Amino acid sequence: MIIAVALIILLIMLIIGMPIPLAFLASAGSICFLGDYDPSFLMVYGYNKINSILLLTIPLFVLAGSIMDNGGIGEKLIGTVEKRVGKVKGSLGIVAVVSCAVFGAVSGSSSATLSCIGSIMTPRLKRNGYPEGLIGALLASSGVLGILIPPSMLMILYAWSSGQSVLACFLATVLPGILLIILISLVNCWYAKKNPNIKVYDKVVENINTNKNFKKKNDSAVPALLMPVIILGSIYCGILTATEAAALSVIYAVPVGAFYYKKIDKITFKTALIQAGETAGVIMAMLFSVMILSRLYVSENLPNMILQFLTSISEKKVIILIMINLFMIILGMIMDDCSATILAAPILLPVIVALGVSPIHFAAILGVNIGMGNVTPPTAPLLYLAGRISKAEVKEMLGPDIALICFAWFPTLILTTYIPAFGLFLPKLFGYL
C-alpha cells in the first residue's frame, strides 16, 4: 500500500512538471510519512552515498566534457564522425548516436555523455529540422551507450559486487553496444524519412572540397581522437583507475583546448567551470534524491517482493530469464543505474548461476536491462535528463522513445539474453573465459 501511494505521487509530480529531484523527494516523503521513517537518517544516507570516490568520476567527466565543448574537442570528435556518415537523410541523428558511443568510451558515464554530446548536438539537430521530442528520445537512448561501451562505471560496480574480472565484464557489453548503435541509427533514419521537416544533412559534402582541405581537417581532429585512446589505454593497461582516468581527461582537455585549438582562455575556462558546476549540480541532486528513494524502496522490501512474485510463477529457465529481465527493467525504471546494479547483482547472481548462466554473460544481460530501464517510462531518469537538455516535454518524447525501446532495445535484449555467445564471444576471444 505504501509503495503504491509513493509511486502514484511520483507519477503525479512528473506529469505536472515537477523537477525530477523534487519529484523523487516527494515520493520519498510519502514513504517516510506513511511508514513512520525518520527523515534525518535518510539525509545522512544520501550524503554518504554521493560522497563517494566512484561518483567523483561524474563531475570530473562533466568538467572534461564542458572543456571539450568550449575548447573545440567535442566539436572535432563530432566533426570526424560527420565526415564518415555521408549525405543521407537522418545522417545527423546517426552522428549523434555514434558520437555518444565514442564519448561514452571516454566518460564511462551515461549522464556525462548525455550532458556533453547532448548540449553540442541539440542545436544542430534543431536546425536540421528534428522535433524536440525525437531529439530528447534519441539522445536518451544514445547516452545510455555509456553504460555498455567500456569503460563503464556500471560494469566496474558489477565486477566489484560479483567478484568477476572487470575487463571481462567490459568486453561482454561491447557487442550489445554495437548492435544498439546500429538499431538506434536505423530507427532514427525511419523517423527522418517520414518527417518532411528533417533536411538532408550535407555538411560533409560542403566541407570536403579538396583533398587538401580534407587532410587539414582530418589532422586537426587527431588530438581529439587521441583522448579516448589515452583514457582507455591507461585503464586497460591497469595504469589508472576510472576516477584517475577522469582526472586525466580534464588534464588532457585543458592544454589541447588552450594551446592546440586555441579556444580556451580565461573567459571560456570560467564559462566551462560554471557550465560544469551547473550540470554536475543537477546530476548530483538527482543522484541524491534517487539514493534516498532507493533506500526507502529497499527498506519496504520492494525488490525482494517483486523477485519472490516472479520466481513463484515458473521454474523453467526461459520463463525465469524473462522474469529476471522484467525485474531488472523495473529496477532501472525506479533507481539510478549504479544503485540498481549494486542491488540486482547480489540478489540475482545466485539464481543466474543455478540456471547455468555465466556471471560474465549476466553482466551483458544486466547492462542492457538497466540501460533499457533508464529510458523506459514512467520514471526513465535519463529520458528526463535528455528532455531537460533538448527542452522537450515528456509527452513529445514518448512516441519516439517507445519506438526505440521496441525496435532497438528489445531486440538487443532478446539476443543478449538467449544467445550466450553474443555476450561471451569477446571475453573468450581475449582469454577471460
pLDDT 10s digits, 219-274? 466 776 777 777 767 876 778 876 787 788 888 888 887 888 777 888 888 887 88
Q: Is the peptide bond before 378 cis (omega within 30 degrees of 0)?
A: yes
Contact yes or no for 284/50 (Cβ under 8 A)? yes
**4-40: burial string, b at 16+ Cβ within 10 Å, e else:** eebbebbeebbeeeebbbebbbbbbbbbbeeeebeee
150 in a structural domain? yes
138 in a structural domain? yes
Q: What is the mean pLDDT of residues 50-57?
A: 68
- Give percent of the chain above pLDDT 90: 18
Range of the domain at 78: 54-282
Spatial distance between the Cα atoms of 19 and 394, rounded to a whole number of angstroms: 12
80 in a structural domain? yes
Could you tell me which residues are beta bridge partners of residue 89? 200
Q: In 326-414, at which residue ranges do the beta strands (DSSP E only) sit?
A: none
User: Global pTM?
Assistant: 0.74
Contact yes or no for 153/109 (Cβ under 8 A)? yes
Neighbour count for residue 115 (Cβ, 10 Å): 32
Q: What is the mean pLDDT of residues 101-116?
A: 73
155 in a structural domain? yes
**All three cell numbers of 178:** 554495437
93 in a structural domain? yes
20 in a structural domain? no
- Give percent of the chain above pLDDT 70: 82
Q: How many domains does the chain have?
A: 1
- How confident is the model over 348-402, as pLDDT tens digits? 777 788 788 899 999 999 999 999 998 988 777 788 888 888 888 888 898 999 9
49 in a structural domain? no
265 in a structural domain? yes
- ∠ CA 306-309-311, rounded to 5°: 105
